Amino acid sequence: MTTDSAEPERGIAVYHLGTTSYGEVHRLQQRLQAARRAGSGVDTLLLTEHRPVLTLGRSRPVPSLRVPEEVVRQYGIDIVSTERGGDITYHGPGQLVAYGIIALRGWGLGVTEYVAGLEETVIGVLADWGLRGERSVRGRGVWIEGRKIASLGLNVRGWVTMHGIALNVDPDLGHFDLINPCGMSDIEMTTMASEVGRQISMDEVAEAFVFHFGRVFECRAKLQPIPGRENPRPAR
Amino acid sequence: MAALVAVPDLGREMVGGLVAEWYRPDGAVVEPGEVICRLECEFVSVDIEAEQAGILRHRKPAGSIERKGAVLGVIVARGEPLPAEQDLRSAEGPAEENAEDRESDHPVVAGREPPGEGGRAGGTEAVTWPRAQPGPQSPGGTVVRFPRPAEADVRAEPLPEPGGAIPGLPLWEEDEQLAAADPHTGASGGPSAGPEQPAYSAGIAPEVAVQAEVLSAHVCVSWARAQEATEALADEWQPEGPRPRVEDLVLRAIARALAESGLEPGPAGLVIVEQDADRSFAVEAPLDDEFRRAVLARTGGLTPFERARWVVVSLLPLGVERVEPRLAGGRLAFGLGAGRDGSGTITMRYDSTMFGEGDTGRVLARVRSLVENPYRLLG
């Protein structure tokens, strides 16, 4: 890394957690947000893939399912209530989830600008694979020709964010059939792999996400080693 | 010194937000940093914290959609009067104000009048939006200092006290006076009387009763779908079935929400206030497996009203938007009101010892969800 004077001063610690259960990362986010609100800690970006889970937003605490709840349980998929905005969504392997725990005041950002920045980051990542992502009047997130590829939901407390954006790299889209994603019954989900027509490496997408996050928010996004694990992946 | 709870400015693209839930009820004592309210704006939920200790008074109900800067509530010290409505409105700024034109992200008390608004009463401090450079949104936008109590004293029209009745509708006033005259009425003879209690709790109960406060919380609802479902049911049940009412659905929704929050709902009372008459009913088992049986129980009048452990008062036929039913010896009552455009409110009045923090918000949010999707209640 250079010591170029043009290097942005604002920094964010990035942790690529690999495959995780939703609960452990949820608790980690809560701890990080509490610390950040208390004025300690640093701004953090967590990247992960979850084991299959359905999460509920605050706007509808009752799951908007297309199948009976027992069927969902039979798949071994938990339904977890969260403090984020928005409706039900699915997380699972093959989906890159990015959670930013950021004190927005320090970044001079409004919440809507941060949300737009997350969408811009994903649009940048998609462009790296020759895909044209866009925003839609149908709702927040990133869309490709009317199909939804990335969903977002945030919680803000004391001007510190948590939760974030989930990009479908190559998840099992069949699991989305269990729910009405974002509460909408007529929504079609898509993935990067199906749009590109070939397999896509999750690590490369994560790397691209960190790069574009740094570009969009003009910050130094620095990949940190996970305590207890050696050899962090090099940042791009 | 009073503080305002206002819709924060979340950024340029933000138009307004939904007051999704009051975590703390109207009249609750709050501590600094405590989350009191959730605002939702698209996919973002914002937890608004109290910035000072005091008594929280709601100004906007859960379910209402408010623009940036709108004052949702006030935190006052015990015994401190509420700020005048006029000052709250001026704190919100002009209605058509554009985000780009706004002079600051948060209002502060200043010794001058707000731009474009003259002729205010002399001697009062004006709440205004001072010029400031565009920049990060500040959480300070949620709460601002308010004029001194001494000045607020002379102003008219504070927000209604929790428990204030709708003018002209002294519901159950006699019962309440009776209950006030005999402090034991509510505990022993009232509808809330439970099974015999062990000796150790005998000493606790009066102490709790002394500390108990009557609190109130309300939520906005759209009655359109409940009405639609009621009409569909009436068509389906004709000619042999009873004729359901929206109130039946609401009664069932509330019973379901109470059961889900761990409270045994028990027999319910229903008072429907119409232009010329009040009618009261009681339903022994509002959560009866078969909804039709619950409605039949109401129309059949088999349960005496005195058995009701909680009561729903409906002013839906009168078009009154909000109803604050009184707690007459009971511990839980709901008021149903309807505005002209098919929207309305469900107000919950309860004894503060009944529900923990956040419980009332969750109960009301669940009731709203069920009322707006009533097909979940049928069976």
Q: What is the pLDDT of residues A122-164, one digit of tens each?
A: 999 999 999 999 999 888 899 999 999 999 999 999 999 999 9
pLDDT at B14: 80
Query: From residue B150, how far is each of B2, B89, B125, B153 by CA, in Å?
Result: 12, 20, 12, 5
Sole residue written with tokens 């999707």: B373
- Could you read off the pLDDT of B235-252 as tens digits, one per residue? 888 777 788 899 999 999
User: Among all residues of chain B, which has the CA nearest to that of A84?
Assistant: B45
User: Among all residues of chain B, which has the CA nearest to that of A105?
Assistant: B136
**What distance, in Å, lies between the first and last C-alpha atoms of chain A?**
10
Residues in chain B within 8 Å Cβ distance of A120 = none
Tell me the CATH architecture of domain B3-153: Beta Barrel (2.40)
pLDDT at B214: 74
Cβ neighbours around A92 below 10 Å, total: 23
User: Strand A147-157 relative to strand B44-49: parallel, antiparallel, unpaired?
Assistant: parallel
Q: Are the Cβ atoms of B46 and A156 closer than 8 angstroms?
A: yes
Q: Which residues pair with B177 in a beta bridge?
A: none
- Smallest CA-to-CA distance from A115 within B65, B133, B41 is with B41
Which helix (H) or strand (E) is A127 found in, with range? helix A111-128
Q: Would you list the domain boundaries of chain B?
A: 3-153, 173-377
CB B303 within 8 A of CB B344: no
pLDDT at A8: 65
Q: Give me the tens of pLDDT residue by residue for chain A, a chain 236 residues long.
A: 444 556 667 889 999 999 999 999 999 999 999 988 888 888 999 999 999 999 988 777 677 788 888 888 888 899 998 999 888 899 999 999 999 999 999 999 999 999 999 999 999 999 999 999 999 988 889 999 999 999 999 999 999 999 999 999 999 988 888 887 766 667 899 999 999 999 999 999 999 999 999 999 999 988 888 776 655 455 44
Residue A8 phi, psi (nearest 5)? -65, 145
pLDDT at B299: 82
- Per-residue pLDDT band for B363 (boundaries 50, 70, 90) equals confident
User: With the CA atoms of B168, B171, B175 and B177 taken in that order, what torsion angle do they form, in degrees rounded to the nearest 10?
Assistant: -30
CB A157 within 8 A of CB B39: no
Q: What is the pTM of this model?
A: 0.59
How many angstroms away from the CA of A229 is the closest CA of chain B? 33
Top residue of B34, B44, B261 to mutate, by most chain A CBs within 10 Å, is B44
How many angstroms away from the CA of B212 is the closest CA of chain A? 30
Answer whether B377 touches A (CB < 8 Å). Answer: no
Q: Which fold has domain B173-377?
A: Chloramphenicol Acetyltransferase (3.30.559)
CB B5 within 8 A of CB B56: yes
- Could you read off the pLDDT of B149-202 as tens digits, one per residue? 333 333 333 333 333 332 322 333 343 444 445 444 333 333 333 444 444 444
Q: Are the Cβ atoms of A85 and B49 closer than 8 angstroms?
A: no
Lookup: tokens for B310: 């909680």
Domains of chain A plus CATH, in order, are: 11-223 (3.30.930.10)
pLDDT at B373: 83
